[in-house]
Structure 1
């Protein structure tokens, strides 16, 4: 045992002495020109390393360098600059005075993926007759290294003619084998237009055909979004997919996508290009899609006993940036979206078999299909949304069939005063895409048909019966089971928040109805008059005949929160009695001989 320990001690001393001698005898600055030459020969990139190179022996044998930069051929800005660079080297090649780098680590680096940092062709370079993949030389890595680490850095990304995006806290770990099969781990954050995004990624990369092609797999991508025009709780989730990238055409493709966003789960594929204008095609299927948790304007549930976080207000330093359509990324992309959801939630409504087939041409969105089932009914909402101007312009052709009225009113933040089902065929449009804009700035018309309509907490038939019985004790009516309005139909118009209807007609059991008036959604006012004709009266024959034929006016007006009623039954009866009395008196006068008193009396009876 003593001999083994002694042998190990001697071996350790030899190794330490050898490394010490190696560090003393080999000057790392001798490799500066070698590194610069190798990088330029293999890739054409120009490497600059500032300051003296020095050894670092623990925990790995490394060469430490100061500021460095890497510039593409013909580029006006370097692709990479870093304050510190560390090269982990293999020991044995150093014995023959050869440099073998196992890992490159950059700290506080700036990575520019911009047109200014991209490789440029010389002005007098010959132009090939055509671009093809066969003419491009098959290349591997620009610089063969097994490990690359970038820590606490900044990635600047910008496409030609596009906006610049600064990805901060950029960290990258990349390990590759001899076949250029790599594992990758990346994390970064982005702040733009008062929105924050963070992401972390773990995956695999096949770079055997780099720089022409890349393919790989995203094992797990975690993301989180917060800020302006994003729900208060933010949007966060995960993504996994198979992916590929072609540098010549700037094309990418994602397949076998599994995406989660808050409590929504989607699967599908995506493809597109990053050349201007950018192209993106999405095919998605969702088992559950909760739009209320993904949209900033969705209503928030206020369940009793729910806990609400207290948000401290930050001090106001400057006026917030005004958001407008110029901030939308849809202005710079052509999008094709095919989305289907087994179940979706929008403003508290549960939608089944939801389908959206839409395109976007640099700000002009066309909703070719926007449909689904809602309860026992269904809906379709094709149209266009134009965000190419500062004010969004909307044109929709809604079609509803047998949709429950009360949940729909709740979703539109309107008083839930009606019950029943509605069918509608309309043409609407205006400025703005929010619910408030629709209530104030939209215009259009629609044909409406409703069934089994009831006014919440109001029984029209009962109000008329009791008013008639108070006005006269000669008639009565049985208060049978109220069946509401069995059928109601007519035309309605919308003009900047004022909903008008001139000739609504309906009927129910022992009821005929006519209605006209307006509802001002912006001012929350209404003025509606119903003409109600009831049957089933008993008592005086003349009064029962009158009430069965004469519409009785019921006016509802005022604020939504304090509706006023007017039901002048006694006035209707009085006018009818006066008319009947005049009619009988005229008949009596017709039977009398002519004289001056008769003519004077007839003049008095004239209205």
Structure 2
């Protein structure tokens, strides 16, 4: 902006000099050569007037230039630095006789300024003053001390800016500027509008500016009180209004933005900003306050669709305040205070703007219920197979690199509650890793890690977790509404997958789950009840009458002293390769598979009663002691607790019972016929005979009975 006003000032002075110097009785075009020579001497640049020069005499002495071009500096190309289609200025004659200079409105139509900064820092406007004439020792009055300009009228101007050291380019086009009377030291009104674009094909915005501007006598200090700017034609048809007070010190390179307000709909940001040394290495310092607003209403006002959330009352309150310090490409946000609905977060962040932004942060919050912000169940189900929609969030992993810590007093996600939450986030070049720690997780602790790597094709997922000392009953009750497992124990999880979209991720999933619980119970499933029913059926098959099983309990459960299990995950199938459960009266081993897509379970159990005198209903099961009971379930997962759905292989039970009975009878038979009271024959001469084993005695007896 400083350079633009400087160029504008040169053009005004040029037009005034031309108006005063040209004789009124000759064709002014005859003096093009002299005018060109003086401009080139003053600026050090080539100067061409391609069109006509026109004069007016009374009551205004005026001059009009057409198609004037000011050349570029060496090394910046052949394109003119400044060119204008039409420029005009008029000076009032009567005040000239009184040694006063009154200029009418300065007109500039079709102005084009091409400003370039080279890689080494040199700019194409450097040296615009040319060589200063030798001083005669006399004190000169300020060049603009007696100047009065009726106003400035700039139409259809274009200003381009190229920084070759950074590769950034901006284009300000369709620029129109009008001002009121300009008197040094007195404020004047200014109105401007233009379109700003990032080149070559970047975003653009249209703005309109209104304010009251004041220069000091040297033109080095500028104040705009107040300034009003409207930004429009932003993405999503958004518009912003900016208001404030601007103080600009061109000599010191300082800019103060005071009483600043930026607003868009219900969004209102207030604060102040000071920029120092902006002409060399700018430094920023400021503070800002984002007043409370409704994110949901703001999105609707911007023509965006607000997300469907499980709780329609969220996204209704948001506010933020922070301080800013640093440089335009490396700054810090301190004293951050963020409120989103019922959650408060404090902390700080550091931002580096390069080819890809880098953000480092340290944030602490109180509590948040993420389930309130999740999509409703029907929405989540519809979106679970949306690979195209799921790809959009992955693009955010490349937008910036992030590294930081977030701690929360409490958090709820997927119906699970966690306290003393610590998250360490590391995002770099499309790879996001979140290390998770929970100090209080259902009376235990939780440590986990989640990795999403979008730099791979297809994107990969990895999740590991270790939960120790947790109470399974409370966890399951929160997760699914009821608790089928109670007890304190440990769980470890490792899952890997790849793909885009929930269905693709589930299909490619592999992993392993290990668990170990102590002193608990399986609710909704009474193994003793099943065994008593088996005993009744077993008695009926044995001819012992149609005995009835024990009636079901009001709240069936199976107690255990120890429960361990391992499961392998492959796609939609969970393969429980081993399960072992112990209680004082029984031992249980099992294995089976669960199809999570169809929610079908295929499971086998092998139960052995080891002590019928103790435990949960063991005294009723004496006849089944030490007999393996094979049990099988095939059906919906939701009906596994119905013991009537379980099938027991009675053929194997009968075989085991017969084998047990046969062993008992053989034992009795051997004890009766091979008792210790039988006398051995006197040993033959030469040594005592070798004593017979029980098996050898039994074989001898069998030979006698069957005469073998």
Task: Return the TM-score normalized by structure 1.
Answer: 0.66
SS of the residue corresponding to residue 645 of structure 2 reads strand
CA distance in 2, matches of 1:374, 1:448: 16
Contact 2:222/2:247 (<8 A) preserved? no
Cα root mean square deviation, aligned: 4.8
CA distance in 1, matches of 2:339, 2:457: 32
SS of the residue corresponding to residue 397 of structure 2 reads helix
User: Is 2:355 the counterpart of 1:272?
Assistant: no
The superposition leaves residues 261-296 of structure 1 with CA deviations (integer Å, 9 ceiling, x where unpaired) of 233211101111111121111111001123224455
Contact 2:356/2:399 (<8 A) preserved? yes
CA distance in 1, matches of 2:518, 2:306: 39
Aligned to 1:574: 654
Which region of structure 1 is more displaced relative to structure 2, 491-500 or 563-572?
Answer: 563-572
CA distance in 2, matches of 1:294, 1:337: 23
Which of 246, 266, 270 in structure 2 is aligned with 1:202? Answer: 270
CA distance in 2, matches of 1:287, 1:537: 53
CA distance in 2, matches of 1:504, 1:229: 47
Rg bigger for which structure? 2
Contact 1:292/1:299 (<8 A) preserved? no
Which of 218, 226, 251 in structure 2 is aligned with 1:147? Answer: 226
User: Is 2:288 the counterpart of 1:218?
Assistant: yes
CA distance in 2, matches of 1:213, 1:101: 29
User: Is 2:325 the counterpart of 1:244?
Assistant: yes
Which of 626, 631, 645 in structure 2 is aligned with 1:549? Answer: 626
CA distance in 1, matches of 2:405, 2:174: 43
- Structure 1 112/507 Cα, relative in aligned 2: closer, same or farther at 3 Å? same
Which of 358, 368, 378 in structure 1 is aligned with 2:425? Answer: 358
CA distance in 1, matches of 2:561, 2:504: 33
Q: What is the CA distance between 1:78 and its match in structure 2? A: 5.2
Aligned to 2:612: 536
Q: What is the CA distance between 1:526 and its match in structure 2? A: 0.8
The superposition leaves residues 230-264 of structure 1 with CA deviations (integer Å, 9 ceiling, x where unpaired) of 553574622110012413xx112100001122332
Unaligned runs of 5+ in 1: 1-24, 46-60, 119-139, 156-164, 190-197, 302-318, 600-607
Query: What does 1:428-443 align with in structure 2 at a 5 Å threshold?
Result: 428-431=495-498, 439-443=506-510
Contact 2:107/2:152 (<8 A) preserved? no
Q: How many residues align?
A: 491
Contact 2:409/2:419 (<8 A) preserved? yes
SS of the residue corresponding to residue 550 of structure 1 reads coil
CA distance in 1, matches of 2:337, 2:584: 55
CA distance in 2, matches of 1:86, 1:362: 48
CA distance in 2, matches of 1:117, 1:466: 77
Which of 24, 27, 30 in structure 1 is aligned with 2:106? Answer: 30
Aligned to 1:447: 514
CA distance in 2, matches of 1:386, 1:486: 42
Unaligned runs of 5+ in 2: 1-91, 93-101, 117-122, 126-149, 204-218, 249-254, 381-385, 671-697
The superposition leaves residues 308-350 of structure 1 with CA deviations (integer Å, 9 ceiling, x where unpaired) of xxxxxxxxxxx99644158522213221020000111111222
The superposition leaves residues 458-508 of structure 1 with CA deviations (integer Å, 9 ceiling, x where unpaired) of 222222123314533699999999662232013221111322223311112
SS of the residue corresponding to residue 276 of structure 1 reads coil
Q: What is the CA distance between 1:186 and its match in structure 2? A: 1.7
CA distance in 2, matches of 1:433, 1:406: 34
Aligned to 1:111: 196
- Structure 1 82/461 Cα, relative in aligned 2: closer, same or farther at 3 Å? farther
Which of 150, 161, 169 in structure 2 is aligned with 1:72? Answer: 161
Which of 551, 571, 575 in structure 2 is aligned with 1:496? Answer: 571
Aligned to 1:5: none
User: Is 2:438 the counterpart of 1:348?
Assistant: no
SS of the residue corresponding to residue 426 of structure 1 reads strand
Aligned to 1:101: 188
- Structure 1 492/511 Cα, relative in aligned 2: closer, same or farther at 3 Å? same
Q: What is the CA distance between 1:522 and its match in structure 2? A: 2.1
- Structure 1 417/523 Cα, relative in aligned 2: closer, same or farther at 3 Å? farther
Query: What does 1:401-420 align with in structure 2 at a 5 Å threshold?
Result: 401-405=468-472, 408-409=475-476, 417-420=484-487
Contact 2:223/2:247 (<8 A) preserved? no
The superposition leaves residues 526-571 of structure 1 with CA deviations (integer Å, 9 ceiling, x where unpaired) of 1122222333269xxx996662212322322211244472342754
- Structure 1 85/235 Cα, relative in aligned 2: closer, same or farther at 3 Å? farther
Aligned to 1:335: 402
CA distance in 1, matches of 2:645, 2:436: 43
Contact 1:110/1:153 (<8 A) preserved? no
SS of the residue corresponding to residue 458 of structure 2 reads coil
The superposition leaves residues 31-52 of structure 1 with CA deviations (integer Å, 9 ceiling, x where unpaired) of 659x999x99xx999xxxxxxx
SS of the residue corresponding to residue 382 of structure 1 reads strand
Task: Return the TM-score normalized by structure 2.
Answer: 0.58
SS of the residue corresponding to residue 145 of structure 1 reads strand
CA distance in 2, matches of 1:450, 1:141: 78
- Structure 1 581/71 Cα, relative in aligned 2: closer, same or farther at 3 Å? closer
- Structure 1 543/219 Cα, relative in aligned 2: closer, same or farther at 3 Å? closer
Q: What is the CA distance between 1:112 and its match in structure 2? A: 3.2
Contact 1:487/1:508 (<8 A) preserved? yes
Contact 2:566/2:579 (<8 A) preserved? yes
Contact 1:277/1:334 (<8 A) preserved? yes
- Structure 1 395/506 Cα, relative in aligned 2: closer, same or farther at 3 Å? same
Aligned to 2:598: 523
Higher relative contact order (CA 8 A, sep 6+): 1
Contact 2:158/2:174 (<8 A) preserved? yes
- Structure 1 224/321 Cα, relative in aligned 2: closer, same or farther at 3 Å? farther
- Structure 1 562/141 Cα, relative in aligned 2: closer, same or farther at 3 Å? farther
CA distance in 1, matches of 2:388, 2:587: 56
- Structure 1 423/592 Cα, relative in aligned 2: closer, same or farther at 3 Å? closer
